[in-house]
Amino acid sequence: MYKNSKNAFKVAKEKIPGGVNSPVRAFKSVDGSPIFFKNGKGSKIIDIDNNEYIDCISSWGPLIFGHCNKDIIESINKAVHSGSTFGACTTIETEMADKIIEYVPSVEKVRMVNSGTEATMSAIRLARGFTKKELIIKFSGNYHGHGDSFLIKAGSGAFTLGLPDSPGVTKNTAKDTLTAEFNDLGSVEELFESNKNNIAAVIIEPIAGNMGLVQPDKGFLQGLRKICDKNNAILIFDEVMTGFRVSRGGAQELYNVIPDITTLGKIIGGGLPVGAYGGKKEIMNMLAPEGPIYQAGTLSGNPLAMNAGLTTLKMLNEEVYNKLEDISNKIEVGWKKNIKETGTDACIARVGSMLTLFFTSKKQVCNYNDALECDTKKYAKYFKFMLDMGVYLPPSQYESLFLSSVMTDGDISKLIESNKIALEKLKYE
């Protein structure tokens, strides 16, 4: 069933470290061999063995309109025939900036970069330069890309592989990153108290998506805003995942909390590599060439990504989000029913079209420690059952599903039916 993928992986491992260009793709946490894909259309993807799957990852979020959306493809084709890159200014960059400013409540000015990691690294440098302070606070299980400052008790692939702290990160870099507990304002206050006048910023995934989907408790984000204001620290929302996904204005619109800086990615590239960070004018004006804080990028504002991203953003409307909510809610309700009927120790977390099924006896996963207690071995078996039935899920318990607006009623039915069969099989494992 997966013969060609297994052979392709064998060859890849001889040429590429671990055979993959991003660790989670290696399927290590599900004790498997990665699938190699050749094409996708709408909600479906096809591997090199010609197996078809319902795609529940959407390239980890960007493909909110599914694979090969005709309008996005046309925008890329049109752009490439005018020139793939100039390393110089184009008006499409300003159009993109204008649209982001229009949609995202916190953003008054924005700079484009090439990845979410670039965005978060740049946001931290900007916060340090603006405040003239050195320390940052992040949260256990939150992932902000692979920058050195962020690989301290990190989520995503670092969490999945059991590598919360990476070799190569110096002790001096690590000591500048303080770690608080998600949904625990007391842990944040303690860090500010013990490091008075030296904390530049608090960076957070307002909805954590890299230890599985973990929602903020009521008042948690509002409390962070107050703590940062009290201590003259910058509040950074990492909305690389949640931006334009959980609502058009992101998590900050959903929870009505306005950060000082917001990082973006994924959806704003329409499926092409992209990142951005933006915020208050007084902060953003500190960036070179206007201010003294340096950040640059040869391919930043690339016209292909700008055209694909702008086309995507223009397509986002109330109808799209209503459809996403309807699709996601049906899957959540169906899976919860299956969990109850099969007597499975599991719970589901969902915000909009982001969703995680946790194998745990807890009613809700609220933080990093709760996530650590989940049954990853059971998830690995569940993943394999679903894969064999033509459902492509994240190859890790600690990653969120990203559903697309092009999923059909047939897709929804299959996802619910396959989930029921997989949970039933787990009872006999």
Whether 88 and 58 map to the same domain: the answer is no
Q: Which residues does 315 contact at the CB level (< 8 Å), separation at least 6?
A: 65, 71
Which of 254, 286, 315 finishes a domain? 315
The pLDDT value given to residue 166? 60
Tell me the average pLDDT of the chain. 94
Q: What is the CATH number of the domain that holds 47?
A: 3.90.1150.10
At 276, give phi and psi (nearest 5°).
-160, 155
Whether 90 and 189 map to the same domain: the answer is yes
Active site residue 238: yes
Whether 141 and 263 map to the same domain: the answer is yes
Given pLDDT bands bounded at 50, 70 and 90, which one contains residue 165? low
For residues 361-372, give the mean pLDDT. Answer: 95
Buried b (16+ CB within 10 A) or exposed e, 4-31: bbeebbeebeeeeeebbeebbbbbbbbe
DSSP states along 49-84: T--EEEESSTTTTT-TT-BT-HHHHHHHHHHHTT-S
Buried b (16+ CB within 10 A) or exposed e, 271-307: bbbbbbbbbbeebbebbeeeeebebebebbbbbbbbb
- Of 28, 44, 99, 266, the active-site residue reads 266
Which of 298, 315, 332 finishes a domain? 315
Active site residue 398: no
Domain boundaries, position 80: 70-315
pTM of the model: 0.94
Which of 296, 315, 334 finishes a domain? 315
- Of 53, 109, 133, 238, the active-site residue reads 238
Whether 43 and 160 map to the same domain: the answer is no
Please give the share of the chain, as a percent, with pLDDT higher than 90.
89
DSSP states along 295-307: ---TTTT-HHHHH
Whether 243 and 360 map to the same domain: the answer is no
The pLDDT value given to residue 174? 73
The residue ranking higher by pLDDT, 24 or 187, is 187
Whether 310 and 322 map to the same domain: the answer is no
Number of structural domains in the chain: 2
The pLDDT value given to residue 4? 97
Given pLDDT bands bounded at 50, 70 and 90, which one contains residue 148? low
Please give the share of the chain, as a percent, with pLDDT higher than 70.
95
Please check the confidence at residue 6 and state whether its pLDDT lies above 80.
yes
Whether 294 and 384 map to the same domain: the answer is no
The pLDDT value given to residue 155? 41
